[in-house]
Chain A
Amino acid sequence: MVNPPILVLILAGARSDRLHALGRLRTASALPYGGKYRVIDFALSNCVHSGLYRIGVLTQYAPLSLHGHIGIGRAWDLDRRDGGVRLLPAYARQRGTNWYRGTADALVQNRNVIEDAQARHILVLSGDLVAKINFGPILDRHEQRGAALTIVTVPAPSGAGEWRRPVLSEPGGRVTAIPDRAADVGAPVSSSVFLFRARELRARLDRPDVGPDLMRDVVEPMLAEGQPVYAHPFDGYWRQIASIDAYYEASMELLAPYPALNLHDPDWLIFTPSEDRAPAIVAGDGDPAGCLMAHGCRIEGTVRRSILFPGVHVAAGAVVEDSIVMHDARVLGGARVTRAIVDKGVRIGEGASVGGGEGPPNRDYPEDLAAGLALIGKGAEVPAGGRIGANTLVDIGARESDFPARELGAGSVVRARGGRRA
């Protein structure tokens, strides 16, 4: 894929307000996923499997976990002399400091990167996608059609996801409209993967009046001007991690008997920096089934239908069901974790019970925490014997003293006093 050269820009800087405690210390792109990955591993691995080795990752909100994760790109063979991966955080300039005000503005502020690359095409994609996409055929088609822009589309997500604007096109693929209303139920939607011909994108970004939003201020004007904009349907597994529910569902889908997203496919492995951990050990009466289990886990209790990240310890007598438990979290003896997302380093005290049952939506975030999940923020400590119902949120770094009561009904919120952060 040396000719024509392609520059990839991964948008990974946006704050995901709907992720709450999961997304306060990291962007959706940096979310741990699938037992050992972070979400952005999919974008990066897709690129290298597609032969695209010139990549910029645009970061802004809470970038440290992402920067540490990507490093010089060794895990993806992106520590290269020619190309490789570059982290592109917003930075201060002589004429004022400018945060990225939006997706298009982030591109504008990296115009020099785009110019230096001298690429013929620029692939712009969102870093919060979970999908295995081969960009090769998309590029080929893009070239053949002489497209100024190819929008990769996916079938409109069913279920309760966010509403997305449909991308309407002629039978030949030429996009006719991207209506702003729910006019065409069932029409495909944008996958947040855009392939631009560099000339047209640069011309657009060079305009002094270009707005901050990629869809509204770049894509739509190109369409309005009659430039050749095409839709390229992608019908494989595709999820965008924009909410707690979307994250939970996309995670649990990995546990299906024949998951739509096969992480074991030797031809399209997802790369990630490996940690130096010993293999998982099932000890004593440990009994795990129906789960993904990473290195460093120690399982002495029962685990069903769950995803366990490296270093999770489930002590004797503890039960973990239908849950996501991240790095080094400990579920102590006799504790029970049901339908919960347990962030890194959490400690679930002995005999405690987290999640499960039903109840009203979360008191403070009824929109985002209503499906029955309990969310335990990074480094929080759930006291021994504590009981926490469904749709509850325990703040990052909350301690025993932060719990107003031993028993908290569905929809409760536990705040960490003093703004403590793990």
Chain B
Amino acid sequence: MTAAVTYAMILAGGLGSRLCLLSEKRAKPAVPFGGKYRIIDFTLSNAVNSGIFDIGILTQYRPLSLRDHIATGRPWDLDRKRGGVELLQPFQGWRENDWYRGTADAVWQNWLEVEERGAEHLLVLSGDHVYRMDYRPLVEAHLARGAEATVATFEVPREQASAFGVVRVDGAGWITGFLEKPKDPPSGKISMGVYVFHCGVLREALEKDAGRTSAHDFGKDILPALVERGRVLAYPVPGYWQDIGTLDSYYQANLDLLSPEPAFPLEDPRWPIFTPSTENPPARLGPRAQVRASIVTHGTIVNGTVERSILFPGVVVEEGAVVRDSIVMGDSWIGPRAVLDRAILDKRVHVGRGAVVGRGDVAPPNRVCPEHLSSGITIVGKHARVPEGVAIGRNARIAPDVTEEDFPGGDVPSGEALERPGGVPAHAASGA
């Protein structure tokens, strides 16, 4: 890596409420993806493949699974004497003494980390995107143009741009406007959440922002302020980039991996994606297994039918079971003759024999999270047990840890949300 940038901070603290059940008990960057990864693996692997081996991860919401996943950073070669990876959680200090109020505040509260390193420029990344990127050319452009900040940009269809920060760029590549999640986006040129900052300039902007009433957010506050100074460069990035913002985009990004010529091949020896490997034997496909257009990981046992699906480590599909257009996370058990259709199962879900998850045609949106669960996907929370023979409709949501006794009426109709008695879904309660 260019010596000017040796340290990166990854923003991984956010509450990913739009991922519904998947992110209720884990930070969004820790959500499992692609059969053996977690979303943050892509950013972490990009960093080490770009030669950055000194990384701080800013976490706040449910950091435990992320902490377990990263541990000492060994899979990324980040268990090092100098540098390495550090999880930066909110702490109590003599001056700052609070939860992170936003992404910018998170960096500000940890500014000492940046200062200690004496670096002139800082790379700020986000932990919830799926993409491959070499950050070195980005930094080189930033330095060559003498920018105060450089924002990696990506083109999406204009109608999708309102979910992102949209940038306006002049003929020389300088950013003239930065609109965070505009209702009527002027173009499809969006910020990827990948930034290089001149540390002196960023320090000043963060300090000023800290004392103000604001969202303390890079996209909403810091970048618009810097853009006004006129030295923020746009760095367009071609290829594949996917924000895992919603359950639908999560589902689609996973199933995109299964296309005959995937836009984002997981296997690329020149730019491997690293993750802690589980100790599992190779996948075992029984003599009557039928596996089509699917991703199958170590530790899975398939005796039934699997079509256009992704099986995480340790998943068992028993004889006569059918798994179709589904994502099944680690150690789930699909009983004999059970059917999954457009279902997302979190870890260690138990689907009793003959049960159906995802039945019916058109379906109403989910009662509890209508805006995130309306495209026909049914989602089952971690460790839930679906009783034998029960049918669950579409756009349904089964809470984590439910047991057979929590299905008093048997079948669960489309659009329904099954909770544990007394259990309130975390994001419904917070109104997100």
Number of A positions contacting B (CB below 8 A) = 35
Give the CA-CA distance A295 to B275 in the complex, in Å. 13
Interface membership of A419, Cβ < 8 A: no
**Is B281 a contact of A290 with CB atoms below 8 Å?**
no
Interface membership of A422, Cβ < 8 A: no
Interface membership of B92, Cβ < 8 A: no
Taking a contact as CB atoms closer than 8 A, the residue among A36, A270, A284, A289 that contacts B298 in the complex is: A36
User: In chain A, what residue has the closest Cβ to B275?
Assistant: A276
B280 — which chain A residues lie within 8 A by C-beta? 269
Give the CA-CA distance A274 to B297 in the complex, in Å. 13
Interface membership of B286, Cβ < 8 A: yes
Question: How close is B42's CB to chain A, nearest CB, in angstroms?
Answer: 12
Taking a contact as CB atoms closer than 8 A, the residue among A269, A277, A282, A284 that contacts B296 in the complex is: A282
Task: Identify which of residues 263-292 in chain B touch chain A, using a CB-to-CB cut-off of 8 Å.
Answer: 265-267, 272-275, 277, 279-292
User: In chain B, what residue has the closest Cβ to A285?
Assistant: B292
Give the CA-CA distance A306 to B220 in the complex, in Å. 56
**Is B258 a contact of A283 with CB atoms below 8 Å?**
yes
**Is B301 a contact of A276 with CB atoms below 8 Å?**
no
Interface membership of A365, Cβ < 8 A: no
Interface membership of A281, Cβ < 8 A: yes
**Is A286 a contact of B295 with CB atoms below 8 Å?**
no
A277 — which chain B residues lie within 8 A by C-beta? 267
Interface membership of B294, Cβ < 8 A: yes
A36 — which chain B residues lie within 8 A by C-beta? 281-282, 298
Interface membership of A292, Cβ < 8 A: yes
**Is A284 a contact of B293 with CB atoms below 8 Å?**
yes
Taking a contact as CB atoms closer than 8 A, the residue among A276, A280, A305 that contacts B295 in the complex is: A280
Interface membership of A411, Cβ < 8 A: no
Interface membership of A146, Cβ < 8 A: no
Give the CA-CA distance A140 to B332 in the complex, in Å. 39
**Is B290 a contact of A287 with CB atoms below 8 Å?**
yes
Q: Interface residues of A: mostly helix, strand, loop or mixed?
A: loop
A279-B291 contact given A264-B301, A269-B279, A289-B285, CB 8 Å threshold:
no
A282 — which chain B residues lie within 8 A by C-beta? 291-296
**Is A286 a contact of B285 with CB atoms below 8 Å?**
no
Interface membership of B260, Cβ < 8 A: yes
Q: Contact flags (1/0) for A286-314 with B, using CB distance below 8 Å?
A: 11111111111010000001011000000
Give the CA-CA distance A119 to B287 in the complex, in Å. 48
Give the CA-CA distance A257 to B292 in the complex, in Å. 21
Q: Contact flags (1/0) for B40-72 with A, using CB distance below 8 Å?
A: 000000000000000000000000000000000
Taking a contact as CB atoms closer than 8 A, the residue among B283, B293, B294 that contacts A292 in the complex is: B283
Interface membership of A73, Cβ < 8 A: no
Give the CA-CA distance A290 to B287 in the complex, in Å. 4
**Is B287 a contact of A264 with CB atoms below 8 Å?**
no
A296 — which chain B residues lie within 8 A by C-beta? 267
Interface membership of B358, Cβ < 8 A: no
**Is B281 a contact of A278 with CB atoms below 8 Å?**
no
B282 — which chain A residues lie within 8 A by C-beta? 34-36, 263, 292-295, 307-308
**Is B295 a contact of A270 with CB atoms below 8 Å?**
no
Give the CA-CA distance A281 to B289 in the complex, in Å. 15
Question: How close is B259's CB to chain A, nearest CB, in angstroms?
Answer: 8
Interface membership of B34, Cβ < 8 A: yes
Interface membership of A271, Cβ < 8 A: yes
Interface membership of B299, Cβ < 8 A: yes
**Is A264 a contact of B281 with CB atoms below 8 Å?**
yes
Give the CA-CA distance A283 to B294 in the complex, in Å. 7
Interface membership of B198, Cβ < 8 A: no
**Is A279 a contact of B34 with CB atoms below 8 Å?**
yes
B35 — which chain A residues lie within 8 A by C-beta? 278-279
Q: Contact flags (1/0) for A344-372 with B, using CB distance below 8 Å?
A: 00000000000000000000000000000
**Is A286 a contact of B289 with CB atoms below 8 Å?**
no
Interface membership of B385, Cβ < 8 A: no
**Is B286 a contact of A257 with CB atoms below 8 Å?**
yes
A279 — which chain B residues lie within 8 A by C-beta? 34-36, 266, 295-298
**Is A290 a contact of B286 with CB atoms below 8 Å?**
yes
Taking a contact as CB atoms closer than 8 A, the residue among A257, A270, A278, A283 that contacts B273 in the complex is: A278
Task: Write 30 A-B pairs (CB below 8 A) sorted by A numbering.
Answer: A34-B282, A35-B282, A36-B281, A263-B281, A269-B280, A270-B281, A274-B279, A276-B273, A278-B34, A279-B34, A279-B35, A279-B266, A279-B295, A280-B295, A280-B296, A281-B266, A282-B295, A286-B291, A287-B290, A288-B285, A289-B285, A289-B288, A289-B291, A290-B287, A291-B285, A292-B283, A293-B285, A305-B287, A307-B282, A308-B282
The chain A residues found within 8 Å of chain B, CB to CB, are 34-36, 257, 263-264, 269-271, 274, 276-296, 298, 305, 307-308
9 further A-B contacts with Cβ under 8 Å, apart from A284-B260, A292-B283, are A269-B280, A269-B281, A270-B281, A281-B267, A286-B291, A295-B297, A305-B287, A307-B282, A308-B282
